[in-house]
Structures are given as structure tokens and as C-alpha cells.
Amino acid sequence: MNIKTLLIEFLEHLEIELNRSPRTVENYHRGLKHFFNWAKIEKPEDINSNLVKKYRLYLNRRQDAKGNYLKSATQNNYVIALRGFLKYLAKQDIEALSAEKVEIGKSPRREVEFLEAEEVDRLLNSANETSLKSLRDRAILELLFSAGLRVSELVNTNRDKINLEKQNFSVKGKGGKIRIVFISDTAKEALDKYLKKRSDIDPALFVRVGKKASKSNDLRLTSRSVQRIIKKYAAKAGIIKDVHPHTLRHTFATDLLANGADIRSVQEMLGHSSITTTQIYTHITNRRLEGVHQKFHRKRQ
């Protein structure tokens, strides 16, 4: 069987059997196309250790038009796509290089940007008008910070899923995992005001309003629209950081940890499958430990 046919079958396997998101499937597709265009091979058995070594050297030495090298995280994404494909081949008993022989390079520790408490207050209070659009935007800001949602989870939520009385609801995260997220008192108030003002029957929790909405049957906001909304209010609040929906997710996690939550609970609330992913936020607990050290070290009477 040729490589192109196997690639199509692998992508279908990701979508159907593994229930991966369209974005994840597209990322794997892009990474593997990149490899096959470089390798110019036709059969899976042509993938061997020497070929992979040459590919990794190529990735590491590749420069763009401005002379910039590929970031190590980007290089790893290409290699991860190849490993995933090799694992699939092994499951199908198709001869090729073992995925275990393809190691992933160590990425530098990711810096997490989050908002300080005073910046969160300014951001939330920047949506302070009584129009439907402003009430919607305040509810978006409040809910992202209250529940630690990914933007895809936010836009895919329907309003019949929201339980304002119990102040929680379920969302489907990465890999189709279901988790319960929670609505703070201020988020509950913002959602209640917004939903009471709506007159449409669209099932989506967050919808377009105004002239653009009247021209479409599908009112659901897109992830890109939410990104623009966040940036608009960050600028209005005078926040100079590059604020996007995930910044509020980071802020949600760091706020919990800074106030004493254990990392396993935060992992569950974020919907991370691995504790390693959640550990990018431990710089906050390290800061708390520094405060403990300063307060109690060598304080004998």
C-alpha cells in the first residue's frame, strides 16, 4: 500500500476511532505532508532511522526568509506527527520503523502569561454597558475566568447546558473527555443578565448580535470572534500584555494555585490528561514557597 493511501486512512483513524478534533487532524496532516514532501518516499518500509535522523537535521537547520530557525517546539510537532503515523502502521502490522525509536526532543520550559488580580478586575469591568453586546461580552469574560474554559469549549456550549441554580455545567474537552466546570457568583450574575436580554431562539450560549446577526441563520460566535472580543476589552482596560482567551485560562489556574488549591484538582478542572501539562503553572506555587520561606525561616524567638 502506498504512503498517500495510508496517510488518508491514518487521518480517518484519528477522526473516527480516536475522536480527535478537526484542528488536531489538520495539524497531523500538515506535519506528515511536510515530511513526505521532504522525504519523497512511496512505501512505509522506506521510513528508517537514517531517514528520520536526516529529517531532524533538516528541521534543525532550516531557516525562513528572515534567517530565523524553527523553534524546538515546532520541530517536535513535526516529529510527533511522524511518530503517531508510525504507531498507526504498527497497529496495522505494516512494516516500518518502530515509533519508539523516534525520540522527541526536550522543549524549553514554556512561559505562561497570566493577569494579576488588579488586571482581571479592570478587564472584567471594561464591559460595563447595558446593551446586549456588552452584556454578552461581560458574560464571556466572566465565564472564561470562572471556569478556565478553552475557547473552543466556550463557543461550542449551548445555553440549555448551563445550570445557573447549581452554578455548574459539563463541557466536552480534548479527546471527547467530559468534565464539570463551575460558575462563580459574578459569572452567574453576568450570564443571567445576558440571557434575560436575549430574544432569539438560537441554541448557542454566545451568539452574534447586531447587523451581522440579522444576515445569518447561524448566530453562534466563532473562536476568532471571541479572540477579537478579548483583545478589544484588554485594550479598553489599558492592559499592555498580549491578552487572548487562553490568557484567562492561565489566569484561572494560577489564581487557584496561588490561593492554595492542589495541583491535581487544578489538573481535573482544566481537563488535562497529564499532570505534566498542569505543571507549567507551578511557578506560582514556587512563588508561594518563597513567601513561606521569608516568613518562617530563622524566625526563632
Q: For residue range 253-270, what is the model confidence (pLDDT) as tens digits?
A: 888 888 888 889 989 999
Per-residue pLDDT at 15: 87
Per-residue pLDDT at 233: 94
Confidence grade of residue 297 (pLDDT, cut at 50, 70, 90): low
pLDDT at 235 over 60: yes
Per-residue pLDDT at 103: 84
Give the containing element (helix H, strand E) for 17: none
The residues annotated with a catalytic role in the active site are 150, 174, 246, 249, 272, 281
C-alpha dihedral sign at 195, 200, 202, 207: negative
Confidence grade of residue 276 (pLDDT, cut at 50, 70, 90): confident
Per-residue pLDDT at 72: 84
- Low-confidence winner among 118-122, 177-181, 273-277 (lowest mean pLDDT): 273-277
What are the sequence ranges of the domains in the chain? 3-101, 117-292
Q: Is 117-292 the same fold as 3-101?
A: no
Contact 145, 248 (CB under 8 A): yes
Confidence grade of residue 285 (pLDDT, cut at 50, 70, 90): low
Enter the CATH code of domain 117-292. Answer: 1.10.443.10
Q: What percent of the chain has pLDDT over 90?
A: 56
Confidence grade of residue 104 (pLDDT, cut at 50, 70, 90): confident
- Which of 204, 231, 232, 228 has its CA nearest to residue 218? 204
Mean per-residue pLDDT of the chain: 87
Enter the CATH code of domain 3-101. Answer: 1.10.150.130
- What's this model's pTM, rounded to 2 decimal places? 0.66
pLDDT at 123 over 90: yes
- Using the CB atoms, write b or e for 22-52: b if 16+ within 10 Å: eebbebbbebbebbbeebeeeebeebeeeeb
Q: Is 169 exposed, middle or buried (0-12, 13-18, 19+ CB in 10 A)?
A: buried
